Amino acid sequence: SQELEQSPQSLIVQEGKNLTINCTSSKTLYGLYWYKQKYGEGLIFLMMLQKGGEEKSHEKITAKLDEKKQQSSLHITASQPSHAGIYLCGADDKGGGNKLTFGTGTQLKVEL
Amino acid sequence: KAGVTQTPRYLIKTRGQQVTLSCSPISGHRSVSWYQQTPGQGLQFLFEYFSETQRNKGNFPGRFSGRQFSNSRSEMNVSTLELGDSALYLCASSLAVTIGELFFGEGSRLTVL
């Protein structure tokens, strides 16, 4: 079965700093999804990447997909307290239907 | 447009009991998936229903079951509860027939004593 490893597991950054979260898959990536979760709450969809080399941006968050490395990265520019939370990557399990395998998660704290 | 609604939000049960959780998807969404989230195992897929049929199933024991009604609302049931079943149970709905954006509910937090 597919496994997704995220790094780092947690990080604390000062407001205004840039940061990057990585998601590495044990198998070929066919589709990669990024979600954000506030502790104990549901997940909020951020972005979906489907093609190698694809890069998408939403406000100050940019995600890239590197098919060869079986890896995706999420970059936040000029972090704000509102960026704090748990970031999760999810991959299409290719089992058919809407089934995602999720990564281990990265907890982000933004200090003022 | 109402989001995904899960009930109850919090519940406490004792070992051996059973529990039923409910999920109302976004109007028009026919796919409903269930996930279990724990600190140790992270977010794990339980099952997915599409048009009242189970389309996918994760690696969970038979104590975990679910169903979907004609109005796309879904329920999951856990019988003979164990301490390890304590978790946040998340429901997600999707408009896509195949893989697509999942819309998650706030979750049902189950504590088993």
The pLDDT of A94-112, averaged and rounded, is 87
Closest CA to A86 of A25, A23, A41: A41
- Phi, psi (degrees; rounded to nearest 5) at B83: -55, -35
pLDDT in tens, B33-83: 999 999 989 999 999 999 999 988 999 999 999 999 999 999 999 999 999
The residue in chain B having the minimum alpha-carbon distance to the alpha carbon of residue A94 is: B99
pLDDT of A74 above 90: yes
CA of A10 to nearest chain B CA: how many angstroms apart?
14
pLDDT of A40 above 90: no
pLDDT in tens, B72-83: 999 999 999 999
Calpha distance A31→A49 (Å, rounded): 6
The residue in chain A having the minimum alpha-carbon distance to the alpha carbon of residue B54 is: A97
CB of A2 less than 8 A from some CB of B: no
The residue in chain A having the minimum alpha-carbon distance to the alpha carbon of residue B89 is: A42
Cα B33–Cα A9–Cα A86 angle in degrees, nearest 5: 45
Q: Residue A37's Cα: distance from chain center in Å? A: 11
Closest CA to A51 of A40, A38, A65: A65
> Alpha helices of chain B — where are they, by DSSP H?
none
**Confidence label for B98 from pLDDT (cuts 50, 70 and 90):** low
| Contact (CB<8Å) A98/B43 | no
When scoring B31, B43, B57 by the number of chain A Cβ atoms within 10 A, the one with the most, hence best to mutate, is B43
When scoring B102, B103, B106 by the number of chain A Cβ atoms within 10 A, the one with the most, hence best to mutate, is B102
Calpha distance B71→B109 (Å, rounded): 24
| Contact (CB<8Å) B101/A45 | yes
pLDDT of B1 above 80: no
Asked whether B102 and A91 are in contact (CB, 8 A), the reply is: no
Cross-chain CB nearest to A97 (options B56, B101, B104): B56
User: Which are the contacts of B20, defined by CB distance < 8 A and separation ≥ 6?
Assistant: B75, B76, B77
